[in-house]
Structure 1
């Protein structure tokens, strides 16, 4: 989700800056501007003194400015924290029965799931990524399929094999997974 938000925000910011910058440049070069454009000659300023002081005496002006700036600061902080958050799960909490629990490295569990899924018939390569919380992980598995592989059999093998083994060995009640299958690029076979 964060990738989509980043792309949308960057796209909107880029579009706004491109349109405004292009319009200011066109006006500065002496080209005619549309009637709604606030600057119509090279000597115009961005904000005149009257524009800068127009709303100062209004009672609603300063609370509105402060509220808008506060919302922008909160959104900027949310975006910054979302950038710093890890996409992968570093560790999984395993119930060891003593009340303390044990920590299992996320990369170790990812490697085991990926290796077991990659060993299935018809799978050329497989990798796994754990996301979510350490008490409720989710798996994302990407598999590269050989041309002769049957996707249904491979999915059943992953579900009954790698995911079941990972769930039981980590002592998890459930391990939801998203499996993405992609075909290996190969040359067309010639029939003679």
Structure 2
């Protein structure tokens, strides 16, 4: 299951929160004695949300209860999916290192990310780097972002990253492979006036 994109997640949470705030606040205001507008669902503080006639209107129809149950089931499944997507860890917290004695050791994911980031940043022409581990602890994957100086050849920077930082990380963690997604970005300098 892919994680819900951050922007979509925030928009959905904001919309749900706004709807709940407006409905709850208006019900509270009517309950406290304020006069609601003529189009509002409540008429007075003693009004009910659904009258007996509204509640029993569709009860005798054959399609009513299956539709209600199906809609509620879909809403529950969507809410559970959303909750699982938000609670899922996006970062790898630890990597299992084969020590050769059959036991293994755990390496912190942040420690490996830090080493990858600092070693990638030391390469010539790299202004800034950022590494992140994902995947499973037995089969980690890396995502590396490099911000390159304008004069640097992207192919050379990628080759340096592969043969140095990634190779060192893979070898030190005893991994057979370390699949990596690399994003390269060039630094944009503003125009300077020469006199």
**Superposition TM-score tier, normalisation by shorter sequence:** 0.7 to 0.9
Report how many aligned residue pairs link the two structures. Answer: 170
Distance 1:108 1:57 in 2: 64
Runs of 5+ in structure 1 lacking a partner? Answer: 22-40
Aligned partner of 1:188 in structure 2 is 191
Distance 2:51 2:10 in 1: 30
Is the alpha carbon distance of 1:127 and 1:55 closer, same or farther for their aligned partners in structure 2, counting shifts above 3 Å?
same
Instruction: State TM-score, norm by structure 1.
Output: 0.74
Stretch moving more, 53-62 or 1-10? 1-10
Q: Does 1:137 align with 2:170?
A: no
Instruction: State TM-score, norm by structure 2.
Output: 0.73
Over the aligned positions, Cα root-mean-square deviation in angstroms equals 3.0
SS at match of 2:141: strand
Residue 6 of structure 1: CA displacement? 5.9
Runs of 5+ in structure 2 lacking a partner? Answer: 23-36, 43-49
Distance 1:98 1:68 in 2: 55
How do 1:98-109 residues align onto structure 2 when only pairs under 5 Å count? 98-109=101-112
Stretch moving more, 113-122 or 41-50? 41-50
Distance 2:166 2:39 in 1: 69
Q: Output one character per residue of 1:103-136: Cα deviation in whole Å (capped at 9) or x when no partner.
A: 0100111111111111111001111010111111
Segments ≥4 residues shifted beyond 4 Å: 43-51, 189-192
Residue 45 of structure 1: CA displacement? 5.1
Stretch moving more, 63-72 or 85-94? 63-72
Whether the 8 Å CA contact 2:3–2:88 is kept in 1: the answer is no
Q: Does 1:173 align with 2:180?
A: no
Distance 1:181 1:95 in 2: 31
SS at match of 1:188: coil
Distance 1:3 1:79 in 2: 7
Aligned partner of 1:7 in structure 2 is 8
Q: Does 1:76 align with 2:79?
A: yes
